[in-house]
């Protein structure tokens, strides 16, 4: 170990000690199992992958990860993991990690120094600040997202920051806003331990949230009677475990929700008392519908919903009327505890806001709300879409803590907190993700005002729908510049003009927020390879470069650098110099600054030190009289939510009707924008598989996962295959109005779609299914629909290769 | 009962008692007639003498009944036994027309012994503890299927899980067939096996160039190796378990009779942790001094 490393180690230890404070407290944060044997030390971290947020113990020996154990202390996973979690320790060790900044010169990617790279970025920004956008991720850590949003909104003075959560959770957010007035998952994973009935609305938790699914499923082997209802468009692994499977035609889930509510009203089995005391009714305006909609009375709502009889729902959705009746019967029974879960089936939906609102409505109307095991539960896909993007507000219209760019008092409050001159934060809402990339793919004179996008921790080249129009086009245009920070080469880095090697997961400090509002923390455990550096550092370094060049936005009202950081003695620490970046815990500094915003919408966060100690804490976390920090399991419920006064029962204190009521919405069923027709007779659905995470940049390089699922495929019904002359394993061309892909058919493989429908997973960069998918999005959330578009299928022409 | 020495006349007299009572009983023919005797007896009764428990005329009846039963019983008892309906032979003498079933001792030797878990004969042999060679082989095989010690093993055969019982059918208790072992799960039974255990080789059809192109898989990761032996306090002490017992609570899965290569020398002892302590280094269960989560220091 050389002197620099030794000093760094000492500084890190001192920083850790400073973080915790007293000597006694330092003992409390000693990681478990630290008497190293064979030199292995174990430390906690949340898993890098999905929104479940399992905790793992990472075994490190001589600066390398050697093993993973499921953390027995973690409340989320209680000593269990899924196959991805067990192999998350292999994620940093793919052979082709990016290790040096690369700049495209004459078509070649040329290694350059970090200083040169920062200059290139600063040049681009100064050239056209209004045309610069930062595109981040639900896999950004909380401090990364916070630094990004402060840099763009508080520094550059634009609102051009978006994140891939727009493609993932946006409709869940608008559903929450429409119903409760605030983006707030009101329940928690404890529902899994207590519900009598679990209903899956278009999701496949056996593969996508496996640890949560098992938490429910394994109750049966302990003798509990539970019922699993799978409402889906194709048979999945989840269906194999389900008691009832309700197959619906794509997009018609809204009709099912409407049908349940209509029947509850007609039979009089809805919860009268709950509705009268805690609910109000709303519908979209007839002209120019908005997210807020307009208030309607119960009678109006009843009359609009009346047409959705079980027979009408059967006609629309294909689900038999008796199944609708069965569901209504379940919901009409107040003794049962019913938990609804959903993910991308309801979110990646051109009526995503509608279906989210309606499912919340079903639970509110029937009174299945606010008890353990009884309520609607939106599952997050990514590890920190909830914690970073939504809460920190890394979207064009948001500010930290759930505040809005649109409201002058919110902008002023944020400016005050950031000590910025008045008016620094722009009131012009930037372009949302689909719009941002659309403009990036247009020349300046055709409305293409976005000319530089900096992408961090995501892979839009592979994951944006209709990729030809919304991503590839930019390559053909002059004047467009793509900067990508990533750990591995991806389709996005291959299209980039500047590639920045990035540290991943436990190569840096970090914090995530999972589906149940649980903020989780981890410390850096290993070094990133080569010159790979933290994404957060990259943002701060670019900000400093602009500061040095005199950019006024990088100064606060007192002329100090907006990421000004001091050590314990008050001296400024030059954290923009990567050699000094770990002299202090930048994560802690940014988080404790961000914490101040969390009280505005009652999303109170505890101090950083509490998260170091805990396996995550669910916000709001409030300090009790004894000095302990108490987390919250259920929002808006007396006795659970610290902000609901005694005697109130339930209180929706962010209610859009400002009367402490939740909103039950009416949305009519409307057909989707693209339906199968004679030319394109099949439905195409896309999604994930158990073994691979998103675009596979990490998991495709993990041998056990890659060998189990080496390549993407198309699932189709055997009768369709027979009719088209396609045998199992044949190469098939899937073509839409937007593009085509040649892919292997797998019949009766992992899932079984019904006739007229096919499914393709999107993890394989060689089989870019997003060339085929549809760019249409929900009008309120702007989230595109990856689950439905029209395609034609035939055996691939000769000479085609997969 | 008559005695051989009594003559008929004596019989009446030998009964003893009141001759008048005898006259009244049915078994004694009326040896005297005449009412004056009967009247005399009646008189005696009505004057104040105690009424007998059993009337005089009933006693001879009862006595004769008892006598009759005794006589019949005696002769029944000394009669020879009736002929048996079938012959019961000693077990060694098998009738030649019935097929001979193999005995358990015979089973031990043949093919069936290997296939049948219940081969009783094999229980009489104490399976030897694994040799060093076997241990090394077993550890190598384990390493082949696991990314690191403690990772869930990959499934070495094609697998599809469509329900809870698919895997449990063979792996709940373990299974031996022609020398191949389906290992008993090392952990308690969970329903969604495929959540953690994936195929070692995919069973997707025609995955063209599936591993040859695309993201490279020659990972730089080197996993934690399996321990070979646990430390002993002194020679002969039971070794400490040298690995984490998370998901490895059922010791017999790897160390029991069905397991190859890591067999214990004493599989009949079922309560392993009575002697073998869990490893302090790998046991990540909560330590007492940490206190409850979120509590003030």
What is the fold, at CATH topology level, of the domain defined by A171-379? Dimethylsulfoxide Reductase; domain 2 (3.40.228)
- What is the Cα–Cα distance from A217 to A193, expressed in whole angstroms? 9
- What is the Cα–Cα distance from B154 to A691, expressed in whole angstroms? 12
Q: Compute and round to an integer the Cα radius of gyration of chain B.
A: 45
pLDDT of residue A138: 96
Q: Quick: pLDDT tens for A119-137.
A: 999 999 999 999 999 999 9
> How would residue B96 be classed by pLDDT, with cut points 50, 70 and 90?
low
Contact A667, A255 (CB under 8 A): no
A169 is catalytic: yes
pLDDT of residue B16: 40
Q: How many CB pairs under 8 A join A and B?
A: 222
Q: How far is residue A559 CA from its own chain's centroid? A: 36
Residue B288 contacts A where some CB pair is shorter than 8 Å:
no
Chain B residues whose beta carbon lies within 8 Å of the beta carbon of residue A765: 214-215
Decide if pLDDT at B9 tops 50. Answer: no
Of A548-552, B66-70, B128-132, least confident by mean pLDDT is B128-132
Contact A364, A264 (CB under 8 A): no
pLDDT of residue B105: 62
Q: Token match 């699914």: residue?
A: A213
CATH 3.40.50.10330 assigned to A102-168+384-584 = no
Give the residue from chain B lying closest to A210, CA to CA: B195
- What is the Cα–Cα distance from A526 to B221, expressed in whole angstroms? 13
* Phi (first) and psi of residue A272, to 5 degrees: -55, -50
Q: Give the mean pLDDT of chain B.
A: 74
Chain B residues whose beta carbon lies within 8 Å of the beta carbon of residue A93: 219-221
Those residues whose C-beta lies under 8 Å from the C-beta of residue A184, and which sit 6 or more positions away, are A176, A517, A601, A603, A635, A654
pLDDT of residue B207: 83
Query: With an 8 Å Cβ cutoff, are A706 and B211 in contact?
Result: yes
Which one, of A609, A549, A553, A550, lies nearest residue A418 by Cα? A553
Which one, of B120, B290, B224, B211, lies nearest residue A89 by Cα? B224
C-alpha distances out from residue B53 to B57, B58, B100, Å: 12, 10, 69
Decide if pLDDT at B221 tops 80. Answer: yes
For each successive 10 residues of chain A (802 residues), what is the average pLDDT? 61 50 33 50 95 96 95 92 98 98 96 98 97 97 97 97 97 97 94 97 97 95 94 96 97 98 97 97 96 96 97 98 97 97 97 98 97 96 93 95 95 97 96 98 96 97 97 95 98 98 98 95 97 98 98 95 95 97 96 95 95 94 94 96 94 95 97 97 98 97 97 96 96 97 94 97 97 97 97 86 56
A753-774 as b/e, with b when 16 or more CB fall inside 10 Å? bbeebbbbbbbbbbbbbbbbbb
pLDDT of residue B126: 60
Q: Compute and round to an integer the Cα radius of gyration of chain A.
A: 26
Q: Could you tell me the pTM of the whole model?
A: 0.85
A524 is catalytic: no
Catalytic residue among A50, A109, A169, A700: A169
* Phi (first) and psi of residue A125, to 5 degrees: -65, -45
CATH 2.40.40.20 assigned to A682-795 = yes
Query: With an 8 Å Cβ cutoff, are B195 and A211 in contact?
Result: yes
- What is the Cα–Cα distance from A489 to A98, expressed in whole angstroms? 7
A381 is catalytic: yes
Contact A106, A133 (CB under 8 A): no
Contact A770, A696 (CB under 8 A): no
- In three-state form (DSSP H/G/I as H, E/B as E, the rest C), the secondary structure along A208-275 is HCHHHHHHHHCCHHHCCCCEEEEEECCECHHHHHCCEEEECCCCCHHHHHHHHHHHHHHHCCCCHHHH
- How far off is chain A from B258, nearest CA to CA, in Å? 25
Query: With an 8 Å Cβ cutoff, are A237 and B284 in contact?
Result: no
- How far off is chain B from A84, nearest CA to CA, in Å? 8
Query: With an 8 Å Cβ cutoff, are A67 and B202 in contact?
Result: no
- What is the Cα–Cα distance from A525 to A43, expressed in whole angstroms? 8
Query: With an 8 Å Cβ cutoff, are B147 and A87 in contact?
Result: yes
Chain B residues whose beta carbon lies within 8 Å of the beta carbon of residue A617: 294
Break chain A down into helix, strand, coil percent, rounded to 5. Answer: 35, 20, 45
Which CATH architecture fits A3-93?
2-Layer Sandwich (3.30)
Which two tokens mark A725?
């002359």
3-state secondary structure of A386: helix
Helix (H) or strand (E) holding A346: helix A344-347
- What is the Cα–Cα distance from A792 to A462, expressed in whole angstroms? 21
At residue A785's C-alpha, the angle toward residues A780 and A791, to 5°, is 145
pLDDT of residue A34: 33
Query: With an 8 Å Cβ cutoff, are B150 and A69 in contact?
Result: yes
Question: How is chain A split into domains, by residue range?
Answer: 3-93, 102-168+384-584, 171-379, 682-795
Give the residue from chain B lying closest to A80, CA to CA: B247
pLDDT of residue B114: 55
Residue A39 contacts B where some CB pair is shorter than 8 Å:
no
> How would residue B163 be classed by pLDDT, with cut points 50, 70 and 90?
confident
- DSSP state, residue A752: B
A382 is catalytic: yes
> How would residue B28 be classed by pLDDT, with cut points 50, 70 and 90?
very low
Residue A17 contacts B where some CB pair is shorter than 8 Å:
no
By Cβ distance, the residue of B282, B286, B297 closest to A25 is: B297
Q: Quick: pLDDT tens for A650-707.
A: 999 999 999 999 999 999 999 999 999 999 999 999 999 999 999 999 999 999 999 9
Interface test with A, best of B146, B187, B196, B241 (most A CBs within 10 A): B196
Interface of B with A in 185-214 (CB under 8 A): 189-192, 194-202, 204-211, 213-214
Chain A residues whose beta carbon lies within 8 Å of the beta carbon of residue B204: 709-711, 713, 744, 746, 749
pLDDT of residue B264: 87
- What is the Cα–Cα distance from A689 to A670, expressed in whole angstroms? 29
- How far off is chain B from A396, nearest CA to CA, in Å? 33
- How far off is chain B from A681, nearest CA to CA, in Å? 25
Give the residue from chain B lying closest to A57, CA to CA: B284
Residue B157 contacts A where some CB pair is shorter than 8 Å:
no
Query: With an 8 Å Cβ cutoff, are B214 and A93 in contact?
Result: no
pLDDT of residue A279: 97
């Amino acid at each position: 170990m050389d002197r620099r490393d030794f000093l760094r180690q000492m500084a890190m230890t001192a920083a850790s000690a400073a973080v915790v404070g007293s000597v006694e407290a330092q003992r409390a944060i000693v990681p478990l199992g630290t008497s190293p044997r064979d030199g292995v030390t174990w430390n906690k971290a949340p898993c890098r992958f999905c929104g479940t947020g399992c905790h793992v113990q990472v075994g490190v020996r001589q600066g390398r990860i050697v093993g993973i154990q499921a953390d027995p202390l973690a409340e989320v996973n209680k000593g269990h993991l899924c196959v991805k979690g067990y192999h998350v320790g292999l994620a940093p060790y793919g052979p082709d990690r990016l290790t040096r900044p690369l700049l495209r010169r004459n078509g070649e990617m040329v290694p350059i120094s970090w200083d040169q790279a920062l200059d290139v970025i600063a040049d681009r920004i100064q050239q056209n600040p209004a045309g610069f956008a930062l595109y981040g991720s639900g896999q950004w850590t909380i401090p990364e997202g916070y630094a990004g949003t402060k840099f763009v909104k508080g520094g550059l003075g634009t609102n051009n920051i978006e994140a891939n959560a727009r493609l993932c959770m946006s409709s869940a957010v608008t559903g929450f806003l429409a119903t409760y007035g605030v983006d707030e998952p009101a329940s928690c994973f404890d529902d899994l331990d207590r519900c009598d009935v679990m209903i899956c609305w278009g999701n496949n938790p056996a593969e996508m949230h496996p640890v949560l699914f098992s938490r429910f499923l394994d109750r049966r082997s302990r003798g509990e009677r539970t019922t699993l209802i799978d409402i889906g468009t194709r048979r999945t692994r989840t269906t194999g475990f389900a008691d009832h499977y309700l197959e619906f035609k794509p997009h018609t889930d809204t009709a099912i929700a409407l049908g349940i509510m209509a029947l509850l009203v007609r039979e009089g089995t809805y919860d009268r008392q709950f509705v009268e005391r805690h609910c109000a009714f709303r519908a979209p305006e007839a002209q120019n519908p908005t997210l807020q909609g307009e208030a309607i009375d119960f009678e109006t709502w009843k009359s609009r919903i009346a047409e959705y009889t079980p027979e009408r729902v059967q006609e629309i959705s294909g689900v038999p009327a008796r199944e609708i009746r069965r569901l209504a019967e379940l919901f009409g029974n107040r003794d049962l505890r019913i938990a609804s879960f959903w993910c991308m089936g309801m979110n990646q939906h051109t009526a995503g806001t509608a279906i989210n609102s309606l499912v919340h409505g079903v639970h509110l109307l029937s009174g299945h709300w606010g008890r353990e095991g009884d309520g609607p539960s939106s599952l997050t896909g990514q590890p920190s879409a909830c914690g970073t993007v939504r809460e920190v507000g890394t979207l064009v219209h948001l500010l930290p803590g759930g505040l809005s760019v649109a409201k002058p008092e919110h902008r002023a409050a944020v400016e005050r907190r950031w000590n910025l001159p008045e008016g620094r934060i722009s009131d012009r809402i930037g372009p949302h993700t689909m719009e941002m990339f659309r403009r990036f793919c247009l020349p300046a004179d055709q409305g293409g005002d976005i000319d530089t996008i900096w992408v961090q921790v995501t892979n839009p080249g592979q994951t944006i729908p209709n990729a030809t129009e919304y991503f590839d086009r930019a390559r053909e245009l002059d004047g467009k510049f793509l900067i990508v920070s990533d750990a591995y080469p991806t389709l996005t880095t291959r299209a980039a003009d500047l590639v920045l090697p990035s540290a991943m997961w436990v190569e840096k400090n970090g914090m995530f927020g999972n589906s149940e509002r649980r903020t989780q923390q981890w410390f850096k455990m290993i070094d990133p390879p080569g010159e790979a550096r933290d994404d957060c550092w990259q943002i701060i370094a670019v900000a400093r470069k602009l500061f040095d060049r005199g950019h006024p936005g990088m100064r606060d009202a007192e002329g100090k650098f907006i990421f000004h950081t001091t050590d314990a003695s008050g001296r400024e620490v030059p954290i923009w110099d990567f050699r000094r970046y770990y002299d202090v815990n930048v994560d802690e500094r940014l988080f404790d600054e961000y914490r101040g915003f969390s009280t505005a919408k009652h999303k109170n966060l505890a101090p950083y030190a509490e998260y170091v100690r805990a396996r995550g804490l669910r916000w709001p976390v409030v300090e009790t009289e004894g000095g302990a920090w108490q987390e919250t399991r259920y929002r808006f419920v007396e006795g659970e939510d610290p902000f609901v006064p005694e005697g109130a029962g339930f209180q929706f204190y962010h209610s859009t009707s400002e009367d402490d009521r939740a909103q039950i919405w009416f949305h009519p069923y409307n057909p989707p924008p693209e339906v199968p027709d004679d030319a394109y007779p099949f439905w195409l659905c896309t999604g994930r598989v158990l073994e691979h995470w998103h675009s596979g940049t990490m998991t495709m390089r993990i041998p056990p996962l890659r060998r189990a699922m080496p390549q993407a495929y198309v699932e189709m019904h055997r009768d369709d295959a027979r009719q088209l002359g396609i045998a199992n394993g044949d190469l098939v061309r899937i073509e839409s109005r937007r593009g085509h892909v040649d892919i292997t058919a797998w019949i009766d493989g992992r899932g079984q779609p019904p006739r007229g429908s096919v499914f393709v997973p999107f993890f394989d960069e060689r089989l870019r299914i997003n060339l085929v998918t549809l760019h249409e999005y929900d009008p309120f959330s702007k989230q595109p629909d990856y689950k439905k578009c029209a395609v034609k299928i035939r055996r691939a022409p000769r000479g085609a290769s997969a | 009962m008559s005695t051989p020495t009594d003559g008929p006349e004596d019989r009446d007299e030998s009964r003893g008692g009141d001759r008048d009572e005898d006259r009244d009983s049915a078994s004694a023919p009326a040896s005297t007639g005449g009412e004056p005797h009967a009247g005399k007896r009646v008189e005696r009764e009505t004057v104040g003498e105690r009424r007998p428990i059993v009337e005089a005329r009933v006693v001879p009846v009862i006595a004769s009944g008892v006598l009759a039963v005794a006589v019949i019983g005696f002769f029944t008892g000394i009669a020879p036994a009736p002929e048996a309906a079938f012959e019961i032979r000693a077990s060694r003498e098998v009738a030649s027309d019935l097929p001979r079933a193999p005995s358990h001792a015979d089973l031990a030797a043949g093919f069936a012994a290997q296939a049948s878990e219940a081969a009783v004969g094999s229980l009489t042999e104490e399976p030897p503890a694994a040799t060093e060679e076997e241990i090394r082989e077993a550890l190598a095989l384990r390493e082949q299927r696991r990314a690191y010690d403690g990772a869930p093993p990959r499934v070495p055969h094609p697998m599809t899980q469509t329900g809870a019982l698919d895997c449990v059918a063979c792996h709940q208790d373990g299974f031996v067939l022609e020398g191949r072992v389906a290992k008993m799960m090392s952990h308690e039974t969970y329903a969604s096996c495929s959540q953690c255990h994936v195929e070692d080789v995919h069973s997707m059809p025609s995955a063209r160039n599936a591993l040859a192109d695309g993201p490279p898989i020659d990972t730089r990761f080197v996993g934690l190796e399996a321990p070979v032996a646990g430390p002993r306090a002194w020679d002969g002490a039971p070794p400490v378990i040298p690995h984490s017992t998370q998901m490895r609570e059922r010791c017999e899965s790897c160390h029991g009779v069905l397991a190859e290569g890591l067999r214990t020398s004493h599989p009949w002892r079922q309560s392993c942790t009575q002697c073998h302590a869990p490893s302090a280094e790998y046991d990540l269960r909560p330590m007492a001094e940490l206190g409850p989560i979120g509590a003030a220091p």
